[in-house]
Structure 1
């Protein structure tokens, strides 16, 4: 990590995953802001990568993805003030969670925010809270 934190923490039957930026192979995918240098499609792909990174962090503290349920997803989208499609961007992570964990376990509560900037110029950051159900 680039700061003082754990990528994920497990306490009892809860797993809390810290914000994951859109890194793949050690680099930020499509750096910048939505509504400026980053397209909606690239933002969606970045959110999906954030979701992949979040699931990897969860697996690192639980050992498997089996029996995990998404309780809440929080998506931050670096964007211009005029950009308003934050939910469509964060769908990249939400749809990944649904596809990997299934309809019943992979869909939880969610919020999508627009922000001025994110760490390392990532276009998206995603955090997720999961419950161990089996």
Structure 2
């Protein structure tokens, strides 16, 4: 994770290169919905899952089939997919002015209380790419199950530069 003191104001695209991150191909929707919808200067992403291609890379619930560390890795992969979808829609991640909100649904079993640790897998990646000054507000919810048996699902709202905005 990048600390505020160590952060240099580079572009998001340059940070991906510096971090050695190659984004995956954007996932296709698993139902009848749009993965990215832009309204004005807000870009809404929904249903970002930890998939590779058309298959879930992680299956299970935190506290049952998976531990928090695996959940964190799943959240990281879901965030990579979110960045791939955002780049596809915007043309460049450099158009992101800030991340407004990160919603993280975590499939859990039993009395699990470490959902924030799981969500940090997505938050850390977003901070590394965009910098601590663009950290979003965050909502985390434990749920009984998620599509494809995934342990996490992300909803992301970005503020983006538009042709109308300076």
The two structures have a TM-score, normalised by structure 1, of 0.94
Residue 8 of structure 1: aligned partner: 36
Query: Any idea what the Cα deviations from partners look like across 1:21-50, whole Å, max 9, x if unmatched?
Result: 110243212200000010111100000011
State how far apart, in whole Å, the 2-side matches of 1:126 and 1:93 are. Answer: 8
Find 2:110's aligned residue among 72, 76, 81.
Answer: 81
The two structures have a TM-score, normalised by structure 2, of 0.76
2:145 corresponds to 1:109: no
State how far apart, in whole Å, the 1-side matches of 2:50 and 2:130 are. Answer: 20
* Larger Rg belongs to: 2
Unmatched runs of 5 consecutive residues or more in structure 2: 1-28
Query: Any idea what the Cα deviations from partners look like across 1:43-87, whole Å, max 9, x if unmatched?
Result: 000000110111111111111111411000000000013111001
Unmatched runs of 5 consecutive residues or more in structure 1: none
| Equivalent runs, 1:43-62 vs 2, <5 Å | 43-62=71-90
How many equivalent residue pairs? 133
State how far apart, in whole Å, the 2-side matches of 1:100 and 1:39 are. Answer: 26
